[in-house]
Chains A and B, each alone.
Chain A
Amino acid sequence: MMRTEWHDHDWQLIHTAPQSPSLHMALDDVLTHEVGAGRRKPTVRIWEWASPAVVIGRFQSLRNEVDAEAAQRHGIEVVRRISGGGAMFIEPGNTITYSIYAPLSLIKDMSFQQAYAFMDAWVIEALGELGIKAWYQPLNDITSEGGKIAGAAQAHRGGAVLHHVTMAYDIDAAKMLDVLRIGREKLSDKGTTSAAKRVDPLRSQTGLPREMVIERMIATFRRLHGLTDDTLRADELTQAETLAQTRFGNATWLADVP
């Protein structure tokens, strides 16, 4: 396998209407496989959320991370993703989430640390253009003078790497703390204080609506690496809908690490 560069690939963009949390989990699985199998060109997918969710990492303990009663009270669905890393608290409009599905050749011979920073170099540049001085903080965070902005996670599957990132746009910190069993130490790690009511590094530092931030990020990726507008194929969506039912919306998968 030869090392490839960004411009060796014909990047595709998928940005569809809001979808359910379990369908998002399934789409990451399906699209990673499709790119790995060579049936889909390398792709960037911007997520839009139809409903609130807590997304826990592949190796996180469900009961240690999530207050199930609080999640239910707030009407929040809890799902487990295929990549490692920490829990995310999602309400439609409070975060910006994207996935990059690339052949493993793009990060060939890189350490994990190099691969994370490499996959998000375009975002650091996009944030700079939005007036935010941001940098990569190993192992898997994007941070700024105003605190942590985003967390990334990667998973390798059948010849492809999934790299996905959730960026805090405007998060209700009180609700997040109600649902996530997040330690005080971890909270300080996220650049917030116990008094903070909102975690809103992107909103407060850009002053722009979320849609505009996404638009500017897409424009930066397009300029740096090239990007063609694409849609999900019918068979990809069917596969993902099936998996969302049988696996990702399923209590067995959710409690895989109870």
Chain B
Amino acid sequence: MHGEYKMPGGKLVVVDLDVRDGRLARVQLSGDFFLEPDSALRTIDAALEGQPADMDEAGLARSIRNALAPDVMMYGISPEAIAVAVRRALQGEHLA
């Protein structure tokens, strides 16, 4: 499943994922945003992995924020924008 969200004033946030047993699996965040340090990408993927597929956007964004060290810098992307891309990926399956 694939979801995209162009964050207003930001960059394109893309999420590819599967759902297994009602939970997010094989989550891959990508896009033309900026993250420092670059290892934060894996941290975000891991924070989303295994989350209930029916979790709301606020919950998803909170999970991401809690997993990130305070020194992580995001430019053109935010936990909230990633949560929107996750929801769009999940909705794409329902429409298909």
Cβ contacts B9-31/A at 8 Å (1 or 0 each) = 11110101000000000001111
**What residues of chain A lie closer than 8 Å to B56, measured between beta carbons?**
none
Tell me the number of A-to-B contacts counted with CB atoms below 8 Å: 63
How many angstroms from the CA of A155 to the CA of B9 in the assembled complex? 20
Least CB distance from B70 to A in Å reads: 16
Q: Which residues of B contact A86 (CB under 8 A)?
A: 11-12, 32
Question: Please, which residue of chain A has its CB at the minimum distance from the CB of B12?
Answer: A186
Whether the pair A138, B9 counts as a contact (CB closer than 8 A) is yes
Cβ–Cβ < 8 Å partners of A185 in chain B: 6
Q: Taking the nearest CB of chain A, how far is it from the CB of B48, in angstroms?
A: 15
Task: Kindly identify which residue among B6, B9, B32 contacts A84, using a CB–CB cutoff of 8 Å.
Answer: B32
Q: Knowing A61-B28, A139-B76, A186-B12 touch, does A156 contact B41 (C-beta < 8 A)?
A: no
Q: How far is the CA of A86 from the CA of B6 in the complex (A)?
A: 13
Whether the Cβ atoms of A64 and B30 lie closer than 8 Å is: yes
Q: In chain A, what residue has the closest Cβ to B4?
A: A183
Q: Are A59 and B41 in contact (CB under 8 A)?
A: yes
Q: For the complex, is A103 an interface residue (Cβ under 8 Å from B)?
A: no
Q: Are A257 and B11 neighbours in the complex by a CB distance under 8 Å?
A: no
Residues on the A chain within 8 Å of B30, using CB: 59-61, 64, 257
Give A109 to B11 CA distance when docked, in angstroms: 23
Question: A57 an interface residue at 8 Å Cβ cutoff?
Answer: yes
Q: Which residue of A lies closest to B29 (CB)?
A: A59
Q: Given A59-B38, A61-B16, A139-B10, answer yes or no on A112-B33 (Cβ-Cβ < 8 Å).
A: no
Q: Which residues 61-96 in B have Cβ within 8 Å of A in the complex? A: 73, 75-76
A85-B32 in contact (CB<8A): yes
* Contact indicator A82/B38 (Cβ below 8 Å): yes
Q: Beta-carbon contacts of A141-174 to B below 8 Å, as 1s and 0s?
A: 0000000000001111000000000000000000
How far does the alpha carbon of A186 sit from the alpha carbon of B11 in the complex, in Å?
Answer: 10
Are B41 and A139 touching (Cβ within 8 A)?
no
Residue A32 CB within 8 A of the other chain: no
B-facing residues in A58-75 (Cβ within 8 Å) = 58-61, 64
Q: Top 8 A-B pairs ranked by shortest CB distance?
A: A61-B30, A86-B32, A84-B34, A112-B75, A257-B30, A139-B76, A156-B36, A57-B32
Seen from chain B, the residues whose Cβ lies within 8 Å of a Cβ on chain A are 2, 6, 9-12, 14, 16, 28-38, 41, 73, 75-76
Q: A60-B32, A138-B9, A139-B76 are in contact. List 16 more A-B contacts (CB 8 A).
A: A59-B30, A59-B38, A60-B31, A64-B2, A64-B16, A84-B32, A84-B75, A84-B76, A85-B11, A87-B32, A112-B34, A140-B76, A153-B34, A156-B36, A156-B37, A258-B28
